[in-house]
Each structure stands twice: as structure tokens, then as C-alpha cells.
Structure 1
């Protein structure tokens, strides 16, 4: 059982905005940063994706991702309560090391060095760590943050992530596996990039709007590249656990957020999970929100940006209700879910 967690500050830098407010406003307005990139697929056609235009694509990958991460951290620190940052663990979410074009060690070292040298911020020296789990990294980091705050009495944890699919090796690998969306192949994704960070605390602070009231994890036996029949067992297990911790049924969830990227696999997995968990008919609409239509697949920040979007929707009153579920699926089969509640509006009876 994971105790309730609270988001007390956040920051974000992505193709549709260099801060939380602008990015979520762009998403709400239906804006998209998808465009032709200076990369070509194996058919010599321009690849469509989304890039943060303020950072030169010619920069080394580690330097570029560190620049994205610093944008998000500056915003988070400016909005955070007063803290001794040396007591705060920094949990850095990155892509899986198996993905071509990713240098986990190089990115982590550059981010930590730049946070210290450029921002003057030093995080906890022994409890900080890298979580290279791809799309589910943010949810795993929340679980680790809960553990650290219980066992070490840390006042807070920074859950941060940065990722970019805009490297030649990554794009080539995606194209080889027919995972890029092109003019002749609709069952694919648009590559994107971005950075996001949230400050997690065990107690509600003034102005806190979002409570994470349930976390769940699972393992899918038929991941995307396995060619096995999909039953969505992993996502079902993750969602069932998160809902049980929050003491809610799926029919009581007002909003779904997902890291679906445009590939048919993800859109098949969601209804399979829902068919196994719905036990009561829900007459009200239960919309599905995802960032991919605005900025493509952003990899390791997928879970974090879902939480940020839910917070902003609750805070500004455009969410369809007071409860939401965030769903993440990694390529190798790991699944994760988080149930969140709006603290700014009265809750109905549980």
C-alpha cells in the first residue's frame, strides 16, 4: 500500500511550451508541434516529429537533454516551498539502456553537473538515483520517492525525466521495426522530446491541487514486438492495484490519461484492460487524453507529463471531474498506473 503523495511544484520544457502553463494551454487548445525534421527514413522521406526549437539539434545529445532538464528544474525550483535541496533526493527518469542512441551514464552525469554548476543546486548525494525504465520510469520513481520519504524522512523528492527520440540511431531503429508513422505506414509513432519535473511530498502544502492516491504495476506477457496475442494482463494488473489503493472502481474515474503514441497496439490494449475492470456501467463520458497528438512520443517523461496535465486541468477547472487514472506502457512489457484526485473541489462519498 503506497501512502498518498502530493505534487507541490512542477516544471516542463517540450515542443509546445517551455513552461507548464504554456505547454498545457497549447495541449488544451489542440495545438501541435509536429513537423518535418531534418532526418529521413529508409524511403528517403522526411520524418515527421516534434522538436524543442530553442535547442540546436546539432548539439551533443547529453548537452541537449541537460538543457531541456534545466529548463524544467528552474521552473520547479521557482515554484517550490523553501527546502534544503541537499536533503532532497533527485530521481532521474531516462530511457531504457537497450534503446539505440541513448547514453544513460553520459546524460545523468551531464544533468547532475549542470544542475550544480549552472543552477547552484546540489541534491542528496546518496539517495539520488537514475531510473532508466522508459515510459514507466516516472511511476517507478513515485514508488521510490514514497519509500525514501518513509524510510529516510526526506522532506521531498524531485521526480524528473528527460528524453529525446531525435537521434539518428534511435530513428533508424524505429524505422527498422516499422514503428515510425509515415505516408505509407499509418501504424506508427511521431518521435518527440522533452523534459519534466515534479516535486513530491508526503504532506499537502498550501496551493496543492493533486493527490496521487494509488499506484500499481504489472508486466505484459505480449509486449509490442513479441507478435504474441495481446490480452492486456499487465496493464489490467497495474490499473486494478492503483484503483484498489485509491478505493475506487474504474467506473468512478472521470478522466483517462495515457502514453499511447499512435500505434494500434496501445489503442487495443486500453479497451482490453477496461473490459476486464469495468463492473458497473458508466453513463457519463470518460475522455482519453494523451500528449502524442501535440508533441509525439516523449519516452521516459510520459508518466510525469500525464500527472502535470491532470494537475493543470484540476487546478484550472477544465477537467471533466475530480478523479483520473494515468496509464503507462514500456516497450519491453512493464506497465504502470496512477490514480489521482483533485483536491481543489469537494469529493463525493467514497
Structure 2
């Protein structure tokens, strides 16, 4: 059944573009922006080889200010959201916020940033309502969980819109060192890894009746959502089962049936690819007909807590432009703690058909 929740605006900043529109166009064109970053040399291969520059996707990185990136990026994403939807500052203040913070890191500065993230974003964006926002769990699934929460919230209270927002920048040297030692970073030493990136996204979720009353364009309807818990996490060393991901996608797509288009957080790690393959084996009737599989981390890198929001922004902007492979899309992402989240979005055109 329809939740009545719709997405009416999206903002996004990545290495591929400083707006949701430009990033999505780059994703559709399969552009990339990888470059070597000599500020952090990865651990040497075995047998040792000369140190290699580290590959990173970066548009705004300035090493002395790298830990402040998520705040600056999210302020830009909120500005894109407001500009694209012609929203005033008062409109943002009237909304409730669901906020995904940057990934945890080992440094004291990183912990300080996470602890004060709401206040710092509020100062940078000039929106006090951010300080009253709910904080999401960590990881890739955070913003998809936020969309599911916002959909339930606007159905219960149609008069209050929600802004689901998040940012991350996986370029903190301490975090890079931890990921490198865990063999998670892609390098000459470790081909089974990911290239880190930086991004922020923000989505406006409101009830269809409220959107129609104010004449807002409806970019997508949140048709359904699902959550699962994978027991064999990426850091466990054991292969995933795929059961939790299959269950989350089944719940998200229960109302509309099998999706033809899937957007996901595959990032180059074989663990995630295996999990997707196993989920398809477990649910062939649901996932066997997928014709288009988008994994934008190929272009802008792994963007941590911003992942789910960037997937959703790319989806709804493609709907808006009439450039989507299908009128319905399933989105999924998995966090390091085993949380698997999925959301099904339907375009306004497909809803009318």
C-alpha cells in the first residue's frame, strides 16, 4: 500500500558535481573522478614495492581542513535543496530533520566533529532546526533508514515535512590508516577494496496532500521500505548470507512487485558483490528481472553515511528528467554493523500511468 509520502526536492554534492542535477547527469554518463592523493601512501605490497600514491575521489579536499569537510558539504547540499525547490529559510526551519553523521574515526578531532555535527551544520547552513534533528545509525544504510522513518512520520502527521540529510568524507588520515590495515582500501597491496570519496545529500519528504496543496512538484513516491540484519558482517571475515538483503528488498517491493531498476552501494569490495549475488539467488522471482543496476561509487567513490541519500537523489533526479531506466526503482545499502536497508521509489509519471 502507498505510504502517502513523497519526495519533492533533493540536494547533493559529490566529486562529480556540486548539485544533485549535475552529479546525476555525470552518474548517468558513467563519468569518474579518481585521482592520486600523495598525502597518504598506502601500506606497501608483499613483497614490498615502492610506495604508491593513494587513489581518492576528491573535489573539495584540503588536507588541513579535511575533518571539516562533512559540515561544509552538507551546508552546500542543503543550499542545493532549497534552491532547486525554491524554498525559503523558514521552510527549512518548519521541517523536522533526520541526520546521518560522518563515519566514526579514531582521532579526537573526528569524535568532536561527530558530537557537535548538528550544531556545526546548523551554524554553517543557518538553519537552527538541524540542532533538533534525530541522529541516524552509522553506515551506508543510514539515509535509507531516514527515508523510511520520514515516510512513517509524515503519514502520522501530514502537516510536518521531513528533511533527511547526511554527509561523509572518508579522507581523515586516521580513518584511512584503519581501513588500510583492515585491507579495505583499494591499493596495489589490496585489489579487493574501495576508493573513498566525499559527499552530502538532502531530501525533502512530505505528505502527498501537503505537496499538492502548495503546488510542489512530486519527484517520487516512497512506495515501501524494508530492513534486515546480516549476521556475517564485512569485518567478520566470513562470507555474507544474502538473506537479510533479500528480506529487506522483498519488504520494500511488496506493494509493487519486482523492480527492473536497482541502485545500490556496491563499491568494489567482493563482499558486497557476493551478497548481492546471493540475494538474487535467494529471491529469483523478485530480483531475476533487474535490467539496470546502478552503483555510483564507481564514479564518486564510497561516500559512507551519505550513500543512501546520494542513491535516492540520483534516482529522483533521473525520474524528473525522464532519464530513468524504469519508473520504479529499488535502492539498497548495507552498513558495517550488518544493517541492510531498502527503499522502493516510484516516479510521478509511473504513478499516474
| TM-score, normalised relative to structure 2 | 0.88
**How many correspondences in the alignment?**
338
- Bigger drift between 315-324 and 331-340 goes to 315-324
- Bigger drift between 183-192 and 73-82 goes to 73-82
2:158 and 2:206 in contact (8 A); partners too: no
Compared CA separation, residues 278 and 17, structure 1 to 2 (3 A): same
Output the CA distance in 1 between the equivalents of 2:82 and 2:252: 29
Structure 2 residue matching 1:163: 3-state secondary structure: strand
Structure 1 residue 120, shift from structure 2 partner: 3.2
Among 260, 263, 276, the residue aligned to 1:257 = 263
Structure 1 residue 236, shift from structure 2 partner: 1.2
Which residue of structure 2 lines up, in the alignment, with residue 196 of structure 1? 201
Compared CA separation, residues 249 and 146, structure 1 to 2 (3 A): closer
1:230-250 Cα shifts (integer Å, max 9, x gaps): 221111111111111xx2332
Structure 1 residues 165-204: aligned runs within 5 Å = 165-203=170-208, 204=211
Output the CA distance in 1 between the equivalents of 2:247 and 2:112: 32
Structure 1 residues 1-350: aligned runs within 5 Å = 3-37=3-37, 38-43=39-44, 44-53=51-60, 55-59=61-65, 61=67, 63-80=68-85, 81=87, 84-97=91-104, 99-101=105-107, 103=110, 106-107=113-114, 109-116=116-123, 118-123=124-129, 126=132, 128-151=133-156, 155-203=160-208, 204-205=211-212, 206-244=216-254, 247-250=255-258, 253-279=259-285, 286-345=291-350
| TM-score, normalised relative to structure 1 | 0.88
Compared CA separation, residues 223 and 107, structure 1 to 2 (3 A): closer
- Bigger drift between 177-186 and 212-221 goes to 177-186
1:323 and 1:340 in contact (8 A); partners too: yes
1:71-120 Cα shifts (integer Å, max 9, x gaps): 101111223356543331121102454x435835524635534534x543
Output the CA distance in 2 between the equivalents of 1:26 and 1:234: 31
Compared CA separation, residues 2 and 164, structure 1 to 2 (3 A): farther
Compared CA separation, residues 188 and 42, structure 1 to 2 (3 A): same
Structure 1 residue 33, shift from structure 2 partner: 1.0
1:279-324 Cα shifts (integer Å, max 9, x gaps): 27966x6111011111110000111111111112212122121111
Structure 1 residue 143, shift from structure 2 partner: 2.7
- Bigger drift between 335-344 and 273-282 goes to 273-282
2:35 and 2:55 in contact (8 A); partners too: yes
Structure 2 residue matching 1:160: 3-state secondary structure: strand
Structure 1 residue 209, shift from structure 2 partner: 2.1
Unaligned runs of 5+ in 1: none
Compared CA separation, residues 133 and 113, structure 1 to 2 (3 A): closer
- Bigger drift between 83-92 and 324-333 goes to 83-92
